[in-house]
A and B are shown apart, each in its own frame.
Chain A
Amino acid sequence: MLKGKVFKYGANVDTDAIIPARYLNVSEAAELAKHCMEDIDVDFVKRVKPGDIIMAETNFGCGSSREHAPLAIKASGISCVIAKSFARIFFRNAINIGLPLLECAEAVDSTQNGQALGVDLASGKIKNIDMGMEFTTEPYPQFMAEIIADGGLIEYTKKRLEK
């Protein structure tokens, strides 16, 4: 069970907001994480604690293909991102590097910034601990579940190549 405080954002959070291009002259996750969300939430890096959860409206991660975006989020300590929908390149990048994403409009609508959430990835259950509410998301399609279970696309590919 993942547990953490919610950092809630609006619709169309783009990858320039998640990690501005001026920091893309490096590719180390820990270095990128120092500037995560900087242009829309200056204090994010100071306040985020391991396990915390990002929540957003629709189309989270739109814009560029930079894998630096999910890498920065993951290295900042965020345990998963819950949104009403995700931009598609961001979605596959996150799956490929092992950053869990959940689509759940009800949970987003019923949760306030700063509230405590518990997330069980295996069952797709999201608990709003402060409000005593529970939400269920669609499970991942089997193909994606396998990539996640293997620990990302590289490990998944290694296993297939060994066969």
Chain B
Amino acid sequence: MTLVEKILAAHTDREKVNPGQFINVRVDMVLANDITAPIAIREFGRIGVSGVFNPEKIVLVPDHFTPNKDIASAEQAKLVRQFARQHGVNYFEVGEMGIEHVLLPEKGLVLPGDVVIGAESHTCTYGALGAFATGMGSTDIAVAMATGEIWMKVPPTIRFVYNGRLPKWVVGKDLILYTIGDIGVDGALYSAMEFTGEAIDSLSMDGRFTMANMAIEAGAKAGVFYVDAKTLDYIKTRAKRPFSVYEPDKDAEYIKTITYDVSAIEPQIAFPHSPANTRPISKAGNIKIDQAVIGSCTNGRLEDLRFAARVLKGKKVHTGVRCIVIPGSQQIYLDALKEGLIEIFIEAGSVVSTPTCGPCLGGHMGILAAGERCISTTNRNFVGRMGSTESEVYLSNPAVAAASAVAGSIISPEQVIGR
């Protein structure tokens, strides 16, 4: 069995599972946010159970439109807050709240070997920890909150092998954008992506979270990494319960193996309006920008902020560019503050926001007007994603976004640092 098949089988009464099988899976953590939980709560009420299956295995994080942007979103957040208090589930109020996929690993709520489901498509982020994590809808979450189980179709696995050494300024974001550019936005539809190879071994945990996070942008059900010393070191101080480490069998069956040499990969830019519409930065041309967003569940972690700060240190954001930096959690915000990163951002002329999904989905905190362009470390650049249907979003890694904020157009960090 592959890594994914092993984890899934361990959460059923079966010895073995095969791709294509419909199975009922026991879940270790169930997640929803201020947009998806209200529908889950409504549907949960229709099931007619007296309470949730286990409050410790449910977590609600109001992170999308919070701190609330308008009355309607405040009403939704209120509903989630009331439900969380009534049932005693894990809940993170503004002040403790971080972007859910940054926050849950940080708090040790998701661990290796877990099955995690979330009413948020980027739930696949936790695959970085060697967990099976996948996004679902609100009704699925309602049923899982009531029963602790959910139906699933076992996905086949595609193996991605990354050989070689990462060139300077090339990070996890570039590997996953390059991969999506290669296989397309439905290149891994209904499948699991298993990431391995020497470049992955050398990749930081933050880089792995970024890659697993965007597995959904290739249509995948999950994106998983093997547990290694880096994973164990990450969870060492965080895990408060036992966990299991799984690895694929030697004779595991993959529907495909795709191999890349990363030493030839440049920082990638995904042009509008698809994460698969990628180009190496040397072929980006002269694209003027109005805004840069550095943050999100994809790239709002400490390493991401460090990369941005390396570029912004002693520089000024270009006149006419709004540079918005959003740490992914309160802890990351605090760490960045202590390291002096926040000072670098503010002195460069950026704004630093409290954790929120905000601009990534065109919610608030950086909406685009017609004709405006934004370089963003987020995960999607669909039509109208960040505001006007006539605006454009270009996806990149944090160093490229920071460099572009300084130059006023999309540019390599190398060209800005040397100035």
Residues of A within 8 A of B (CB): 12, 14, 16-17, 20-22, 24-27, 39-40, 58-59, 62-68, 70-71, 85, 87-89, 92-93, 96-97, 141, 143-144, 147, 152-154, 157-158, 161
Do residues B185 and A67 form an inter-chain contact, with CB atoms below 8 A? Answer: no
User: How distant is B76 from chain A, measured CB to nearest CB, in Å?
Assistant: 6
B47 within 8 A of A: yes
User: How distant is A41 from chain B, measured CB to nearest CB, in Å?
Assistant: 11
Q: Give the residue of A20, A89, A143 whose beta carbon is less than 8 angstroms from that of B151.
A: A143
Tell me which residues from 43 to 91 in chain B have a Cβ below 8 Å from any Cβ of chain A.
Answer: 43, 46-49, 64-65, 69-70, 72-73, 76
Do residues B72 and A26 form an inter-chain contact, with CB atoms below 8 A? Answer: yes
Do residues B219 and A65 form an inter-chain contact, with CB atoms below 8 A? Answer: no
User: Which of the segments B136-144, B348-356, B398-406 contacts the partner chain?
Assistant: B136-144
Q: Give the residue of A12, A24, A144 whose beta carbon is less than 8 angstroms from that of B35.
A: A24
Known contacts being A89-B135, A92-B140, A93-B137, is A154 close to B186, with CB within 8 Å?
A: no
Q: Give the residue of A64, A65, A67, A154 whose beta carbon is less than 8 angstroms from that of B143.
A: A154
User: How distant is A25 from chain B, measured CB to nearest CB, in Å?
Assistant: 4
B245 within 8 A of A: no
Cα separation A64 to B37 with both chains bound (whole Å):
14
Do residues B380 and A67 form an inter-chain contact, with CB atoms below 8 A? Answer: no
User: How distant is A83 from chain B, measured CB to nearest CB, in Å?
Assistant: 11
Q: Give the residue of A39, A59, A63, A67 whose beta carbon is less than 8 angstroms from that of B139.
A: A67
Do residues B46 and A16 form an inter-chain contact, with CB atoms below 8 A? Answer: no
Tell me which residues from 111 to 143 in chain B have a Cβ below 8 Å from any Cβ of chain A.
Answer: 118-121, 123, 135-140, 142-143
Q: Give the residue of A26, A67, A87 whose beta carbon is less than 8 angstroms from that of B138.
A: A67
Cα separation A154 to B42 with both chains bound (whole Å):
11
B146 within 8 A of A: yes
Cα separation A76 to B146 with both chains bound (whole Å):
29
Which chain B residue has the least Cβ–Cβ distance from A94?
Answer: B137
Known contacts being A59-B186, A66-B36, A88-B189, is A161 close to B140, with CB within 8 Å?
A: no
B382 within 8 A of A: yes
Contacts of A88 in B (CB 8 A): 189-190, 219, 221
Contacts of A70 in B (CB 8 A): 137
Contacts of A25 in B (CB 8 A): 65, 69-70, 72-73, 76
B239 within 8 A of A: no
Contacts of A66 in B (CB 8 A): 35-36, 137
Known contacts being A64-B121, A67-B137, A141-B22, is A12 close to B143, with CB within 8 Å?
A: no
B147 within 8 A of A: yes
Contacts of A64 in B (CB 8 A): 120-121, 361
Do residues B39 and A153 form an inter-chain contact, with CB atoms below 8 A? Answer: no
B362 within 8 A of A: yes
Cα separation A152 to B47 with both chains bound (whole Å):
12
Cα separation A37 to B238 with both chains bound (whole Å):
43
Do residues B119 and A12 form an inter-chain contact, with CB atoms below 8 A? Answer: no
* Interface CB pairs A-B, < 8 A, 12: A12-B186, A21-B363, A24-B64, A25-B65, A59-B219, A63-B380, A65-B121, A65-B123, A93-B136, A144-B22, A147-B151, A154-B47
Do residues A65 and B189 form an inter-chain contact, with CB atoms below 8 A? Answer: no
Which chain B residue has the least Cβ–Cβ distance from A84?
Answer: B186
Do residues B143 and A157 form an inter-chain contact, with CB atoms below 8 A? Answer: yes
Contacts of A26 in B (CB 8 A): 72, 76
Known contacts being A39-B383, A40-B383, A154-B43, is A67 close to B186, with CB within 8 Å?
A: no
Known contacts being A16-B383, A20-B384, A62-B186, is A153 close to B136, with CB within 8 Å?
A: no
Contacts of A153 in B (CB 8 A): 139-140, 143, 151
B274 within 8 A of A: yes
Contacts of B138 in A (CB 8 A): 67, 93
Do residues A65 and B361 form an inter-chain contact, with CB atoms below 8 A? Answer: no
Contacts of A97 in B (CB 8 A): 137, 139
B38 within 8 A of A: yes
B322 within 8 A of A: no
Given contacts A21-B385, A25-B73, A153-B151, 10 further A-B contacts (CB under 8 A): A14-B380, A16-B383, A64-B121, A67-B139, A68-B35, A143-B151, A157-B143, A157-B146, A161-B146, A161-B147
Cα separation A93 to B38 with both chains bound (whole Å):
15
